[in-house]
Structure 1
Amino acid sequence: MNDDSRKAGGADQDPFFMRDPEKLAANLARTIEEAGKAAGFWSRARESGMVSDSSFDPFADMLRVFSALGQYWFSEPSRSFEAQTRLFTAYMGVWMRSMQELTGQAEPDKPEAKRPDKRFHDPEWVQNPFFSSLRQIYEVTARWAEELVERADTLDDLTRLKARFYVRQIIDAMAPTNFVVTNPAVLRETLKSNGDNLVRGMQMFAEDLREGGGIPRLRQSDLGAFEVGENLATTPGKVVARNDLAEIIQYAPSTGKVLKRPLLIVPPWINKFYILDLNEKRSFIRWAVSQGHTVFVISWANPDERHRDKDWDAYIGEGIEFALDTIKARTGEDEVNAIGYCVGGTLLSAALALMAETGDQRIASATLLTTQVDFADAGDLKVFIDEEQLQALEEAMERKGYLEGGRIAMAFNMLRARDLIWPYVVNNYMRGEPPLPFDMLYWNSDSTNLAAANHSYYLRNCYLENNLARGRAELRGRKLRLSSVKIPIFNLATADDHIAPALSVYNGSRLFGGPVEFVLSGSGHIAGVVNPPAQRKYRYWIGEVHEEGFERWLETAEETEGSWWPHWQQWIEAQGNETVAARSFGPDEEALDDAPGKYVRKRV
């Protein structure tokens, strides 16, 4: 609706007209009251020692990085003047264009076609002069801030990486879409409902703060719409072994014949295994069973203070080796195919190097899904890892014996804050609308704690010092050398991965001593992996791993439409396709529990 039609229709037709000032004022007072409750939860959690912010402060690191950035721009007056001139010129361009639009001398500005931004999909961002100018000012300021980082020649690689990350966080946080009075959709709703939405939103924020124990647990999905074991993780199976660290689940066959080699899945301990068993249509586990695999899965315990000393030695011994012993006892087989997902794949790779040193040949082939073993190009997560930050984190973990799941979940969400944080802040806390049910985002919010010794070993030997790639990591008094791993490796990366960048995964492929099948899937860290063939989505690329680098590999790779799953199945069968009768559970066999077990049900 344009300005003339609004005037013709009167104030009642104006979406930005204040309909009931008295009721709006009352609701604003209620919103402030609910904000006070939220502030109370926040302060009590810190006063009681439930949450401590003093030992782990990312803002201190951000200030150090911005100090280095500022040193470059302010050390030379000409640089500072040039930067200010560029920004002023851009603002003048926005002002002149706005004047031309108001006088009819120019067509209304439109969001950039090259970078469509769904935050600005509301027509008011183009049609309304105020919101259009606001959007343009935000866009030119964001580009200017990004250029400050790229043009600062004196920054080292890590400082530049951090500067890019922190500038992007500020840019995303300061978007006009994140504030009530500068978001046309939220402002319309606020005036239409006389602020009811703000009351609901602040009530929801207080609930999330209380639920998170003083750390806001941002709802990305309707938490009441899902229940593990009911409509998530429903593939039939039994818990056939359990210790303090892991449950071993065996899944019931759905074919008369199965591959002789069982399949062991090592999931990440940072998240729960049922990302591979979301529902019947999107379950990799159910699909693998249907392809003739006898599937075993490790379900990690959700750590508490009892697990503080469980390091990688424990996770390999009480997880992977415990699972291999269980498989031998259950099937009689000496060889298995193994899959490791994300950090589960990193742990599996370390276990393979250790097994190569000791002559243990029980794993005959390994599949690594979005797994890093070389962390030189590990992406934005390196922002959180330097010696000072790691020492502070280790001190925080030492007090409890673990890192709270909410902290690591927030760190991962910050990698894609524009998609995983701010849309939900706006929808939940400003519009007062609960999120829609989405199983993948429910899993994303079902976070786990991280055992102190395990997480410290991982961060130091992978992200901080890259010891696993360099052959310097040690377990059980032995050096871990990936070059000694001679078994066939299927190594999957995803094109838009923000956690395990494709370049990093590709570089890791060259560290193994045996044949590696490198495959690049479309989409990201989760959707690129959980991509059933029936969905007919995305594509994948295959090609020889060579020394010319990832860019050259992309130029020569062969592209195929659809899911990578059938290609993986062909690869597995090429390693050994002998079959045996399906391994069913005995009618009188007693199991510890039905799948998905009890460990996966513990929430933090």
Structure 2
Amino acid sequence: MNDGLNQFGQDAHFTDRMLHALIGRWTSGISPYALALAGTDWLLHLTASPAKRHELADNIRNNSLRYSAWLAAMSGGGAPPPIIKPLPGDERFTATDWQVWPYYPVQQAFLLTEQWWRHATTDVRGMTPHHEDVVSFTARQLLDMVSPSNLPWMNPEVLNRTRKEGGLNLVRGFLNWQEDTMRQLAGQPPVGVEDFRVGHELAVTPGSVIHRNPLMELIQYAPTTGTVYREPVLICPSWIMKYYILDLRPENSLVRYLVERGHTVYMISWKNPGHGERHLGMEDYLRLGPLEAVDQVAAIHPEIPIHSVGYCLGGTLLSIAAATMARGGDQRLGSMTLLAAQVDFSEPGELDLFIDESQVTFLEDVMWADGYLDARKMAGAFQLLRSQDLFWSRLLHDYLLGERSPVFDLMAWNADTTRMPARMHSDYLRSLFLRNDLVEGRYEVDGQPVHLGDIKAPVFAVGTQKDHVAPWQSTYKVHRLLRTDVTFLLTSGGHNAGIVSPADHPRRTHQIIARKATDPWVPAERFAETAPVEAGSWWPVWERWLRDRSTSRRQPPPAIGVPGREPAELAPAPGTYVLES
């Protein structure tokens, strides 16, 4: 009897997960139940808030009166100032054509509508903050769908182009849409990406794969100087990206920049996991990734401190590795650099919109079917976060104006997607995002909690001003969590473009604070207000910081590979894992 009940429970569990997986294929992994919970929370609390509803009704009445008076003034031949201006960063209505009749009234009416919905979906007493963020975000997405800038019969730029070209722009746009759709259905990369090939145009810094395990390849880059600093640099990129974002073209390759200045650089290149890697968890990534890479680099540079670098989630993993090593008295890391990397997930930024118990459970069922998180589902979430930049602007430019957006190296890299094993991604979402175990002292390695305060190596942390993935205020929290010297640099740009910032970048600026372990705490807001803004990329600042923490006397470059191991080179850079699709 019990066996029968257990079997029925297993079958029911299987059915539930399969149903969720099927639904997830249509929703790009976004849980409709999480959206329904947020919407219900908003609707119930708004219903129970007559004062809020009265305020919203007053807003409609007042805006209607203001708009009517403004419209009358404009109809009389005047040029009244706008009732409402777009929010900072909103460039949908900046063209001159939007400031004349009849498009001026249209954009003003839409901006007033957007403002009303912002009021309607925020500051509703009793709502959970997470649900408020989800409802407000969803309202913005729905409004974008009916924005006059995205409707060809309301957009003056599209109408003028159509009249000028006799509709040929729409013909070209349809052909562009058709080509993009066919490529997407065939699993092919976007148009233009074929001009950026890994190992040919991208990731061309010479080097060798000197170590390989089931999860990563370790690349040692060839020296270009007669002598090098004794201390090597080991880079741990995020496993949700291909490593060569730090080695794009020669002119914007951080790897080449370091090698040309006498640093011996090593890079972890993660395997693109499939169904067979579904069982790999965070601890597997820790052991087979940074910890094993440190062992290999230390074998080439015995008893020499290692400058470690972690980018995005690679920085989170590196922090766990550094704390694990420090707990056991392992002092092989001479410094740690965190690039747009979070260790405290209490304020994870806009990605928090997609992370709650309902969403994580649903996503676990979606991953359970395939054994991994498909890159297209993750890309869909990022597109939603920046829908105006990544979707609607492309709709306007490529499909309505009929012009192909130029492809550049960072776009080609972004299209070279990766997957994430089901177990690892579940571990990451639950332990770090949902429970914030690392900061709360509950994150365990080998059954023992690790403590970030054990890290004694000096730290250089980089945040980017327009980061939608790891907000700089969140990355700044390393000051409070680490009991060591921390230098924090805030650079202009976003999560990727701000990091890929060549030394001669003409538009980059940065602010910096160097704080000793014993110095008083400086809040993030005060730092941003008081730290002087300096022109230039963060690359030279950081490279000087590395030099200052390296032995001044340089030496001949080390031989390729671990001494005594044959063959020393398993494959030339960029290796084989990075080529897996």
TM over 0.5: same fold? yes
Aligned-pair CA distance for 1:210: 4.8
Q: Which residue of structure 1 lines up, in the alignment, with residue 549 of structure 2?
A: 575
Aligned letter for 1:96?
Answer: A
CA distance in 2, matches of 1:324, 1:288: 19
Tell me whether 184-193 or 303-312 shows the greater mean CA deviation: 184-193
Q: Does 2:254 align with 1:284?
A: yes
State whether residues 214 and 271 of structure 2, in contact with CA within 8 Å, keep that contact through their aligned partners in structure 1.
Answer: yes
Between the aligned partners of 2:287 and 2:445, the Cα distance in structure 1 is 11
2:241 to 260, 263, 271: 271
| Larger CA deviation: 445-454 vs 186-195 | 186-195
CA distance in 1, matches of 2:220, 2:580: 20
In the alignment, does 2:106 pair up with 1:131? Answer: no
C-alpha distance in 1 between matches for 2:147 and 2:109: 10
Which of 71, 76, 79 lines up with 1:106 in the alignment? 79
The TM-score, its normalising length taken from structure 1, stands at 0.85
Aligned to 1:550: 524
Deviation string for 1:473-524 (max 9, x for gaps)?
A: 1122121211111111111112221111111111233212322112212222
Match of 2:47 among 62, 74, 82: 74
Change (3 A) 1:432 1:466: same
SS in 2 for 1:119: coil
Q: Distance in 2 between matches of 1:598 and 1:66?
A: 46
Aligned residue among 263, 280, 300 for 1:310: 280
Tell me the distance in 2 between the aligned counterparts of 1:58 and 1:191. Answer: 43
Call closer, same or farther: CA 1:134–1:339 in 2, change over 3 Å: same
Provide the C-alpha distance between the structure 2 equivalents of 1:113 and 1:408, rounded to a whole number of angstroms: 29
C-alpha distance 208-307 of structure 1, shift in aligned 2 (>3 A)? farther
Count of paired positions: 553
- C-alpha distance in 1, partners of 2:129/2:365? 27
Q: 1:557 to 1:230 in 2, by over 3 A?
A: same
| Aligned-partner residue type, residue 97 of structure 1 | W
| 1:191 Cα deviation after fit | 5.0
1:591 aligned to which of 556, 569, 574? 569
Give the equivalent residue in structure 1 for 2:430: 460
**Could you tell me whether the CA contact under 8 Å between 1:354 and 1:478 is conserved in 2?**
no
* 2:332 is aligned with 1:362: yes
Q: Which moved more, 1:202-211 or 1:260-269?
A: 202-211
Could you tell me which amino acid in structure 1 is paired with residue 545 of structure 2? W
Q: Is the 8 A contact 1:95 1:133 kept in 2?
A: no
> Structure 1: which 5+ residue stretches go unaligned?
1-45
Query: Equivalents in 2 of 1:120, 1:163: separation in Å?
Result: 25
Question: Which amino acid letter does the alignment assign opposite residue 122 of structure 1?
Answer: A
What do residues 415-460 of structure 1 show as CA deviations (whole Å, max 9, x unaligned)? 2221122111222333443321221122222221111111111111
Given the superposition, is the C-alpha separation of residues 84 and 222 from structure 1 closer, same or farther in structure 2, using an over 3 Å criterion? Answer: farther
User: Is contact 2:84–2:111 with CA below 8 Å preserved after alignment?
Assistant: no
Aligned partner of residue 208 in structure 2, secondary structure: strand
Q: What SS is found at the alignment partner of 2:200?
A: coil
SS in 2 for 1:580: coil
Task: Give 1:441-460 correspondences, 5 Å limit.
Answer: 441-460=411-430
Unpaired segments of 5 or more residues in structure 2?
A: 1-18
Q: Which of 142, 160, 164 is the aligned partner of 2:136? A: 164
Residues 135 and 248 of structure 1, relative CA distance in 2, 3 Å threshold: same
Give the direction of change, closer, same or farther, for the CA distance of 1:147–1:58 in structure 2 (3 Å limit). same
Distance across 2 between alignment mates of 1:395 and 1:289 = 44
Equivalences for residues 511-522 of structure 1 within 5 A = 511-522=481-492
> 1:199-227 CA deviation, whole Å, 9 max, x = no partner?
55455445544544599x995x7323311
Moved more, 561-570 or 114-123: 114-123
Cα deviation, residue 590, structure 1: 5.8
The amino acid that maps onto 1:583 is: P
Question: What is the match of residue 121 of structure 1?
Answer: 94
Give SS of 1:367's match: strand
Deviation of 1:314 after TM superposition, in Å, equals 1.2
- Secondary structure of 2:456's counterpart equals coil
Q: 1:464-479 alignment to 2 at 5 Å?
A: 464-479=434-449
Deviation at 1:465, TM superposition (A): 0.5
CA contact (8 A) 1:340 1:368 kept: yes
Q: Secondary structure at the match of 1:537?
A: coil
Separation in structure 1 between the aligned mates of residue 211 and residue 560 of structure 2, nearest angstrom: 14
Deviations 1:24-75 (A, max 9, x none): xxxxxxxxxxxxxxxxxxxxxx9x9797237944444233323322333332
Residue of 67, 75, 86 corresponding to 1:94: 67
Amino acid at match of 1:157: P
Which amino acid counterpart does residue 547 of structure 1 have in structure 2? W
Q: Distance in 1 between matches of 2:275 and 2:105?
A: 53
Q: Deviations over 1:564-596 (max 9, x none)?
A: 22221222122222422123549x976222211
Give secondary structure in 1 for the equivalent of 2:555: strand
Asked whether 1:141 is paired with 2:119, we answer no
Q: Kindly indicate whether the alpha-carbon contact (under 8 Å) linking 2:30 and 2:354 is maintained by their aligned counterparts in 1.
A: no
Instruction: Identify the residue that residue 430 of structure 1 maps to in structure 2.
Output: 400
1:162 deviates by 2.2
Deviation at 1:558, TM superposition (A): 4.0
Q: TM-score, normalised by structure 2?
A: 0.88
| Distance in structure 2 (CA, Å) of the matches to 1:174 and 1:353 | 50
- Bigger drift between 204-213 and 91-100 goes to 204-213
SS at match of 1:151: coil
Paired letter, 2:53: S
Structure 1: distance between partners of 2:377 and 2:34: 16
1:345 is matched with which residue: 308, 312, 315?
Answer: 315
Tell me which amino acid in the other structure corresponds to 1:486. K
Greater Cα shift, 560-569 or 369-378: 560-569
Matched position secondary structure for 1:239 = strand
Give the 3 Å change call, closer, same or farther, for CA 56–406 of structure 1 in structure 2.
Answer: closer
Deviates more, 1:58-67 or 1:571-580: 58-67
Question: Which position in structure 2 is the counterpart of 1:32?
Answer: none
Deviation per residue, 1:301-325 (Å, 9 max, x gap): 1111111111121112212123223
Identical columns (%): 35
Q: Look up the equivalent residue of 2:525 and give its one-letter code.
A: E
SS in 1 for 2:153: helix
Deviates more, 1:279-288 or 1:412-421: 412-421
Q: Residue 25 of structure 1 corresponds to which residue in structure 2?
A: none
For residue 335 of structure 2, give the secondary structure of its aligned residue in structure 1.
strand
Specify whether residues 51 and 207 from structure 1 end up closer, same or farther in structure 2 by C-alpha distance, changes over 3 A only.
farther
Inter-CA distance 255–562: structure 2 relative to 1 (3 Å threshold) = same
In structure 2, how many angstroms separate the alpha carbons of the residues matched to 1:114 and 1:213? 37
* Partner Cα distance (2:138, 2:24) in 1: 24
Distance 1:116 1:504 in 2: 22
- Distance in 1, Cα, partners of 2:69 & 2:36: 35
Alignment CA distance shift 1:550-1:222 (3 Å): same
1:496 aligns with 2:504: no
RMSD (Å), alpha carbons: 2.8
Q: 1:78 to 1:477 in 2, by over 3 A?
A: closer
Give per-residue Cα distances to partners, 1:261-318, cap 9 Å, x unaligned. 1110000111111111121111111101112110010011111111111112111221
1:255-266 equivalence runs, <5 A: 255-266=225-236
**Against the structure 1 CA distance between its residues 163 and 98, is the aligned structure 2 distance closer, same or farther, given a 3 Å change threshold?**
same
Deviation at 1:77, TM superposition (A): 4.1
Shift of 1:334: 4.5
Instruction: Assess, with a 3 A threshold, how the Cα gap between structure 1 residues 352 and 556 changes in structure 2: closer, same or farther.
Output: same
Q: 2:25 aligns with which of 52, 55, 60?
A: 52
Counterparts of 2:250 and 2:84, CA distance in 1: 40
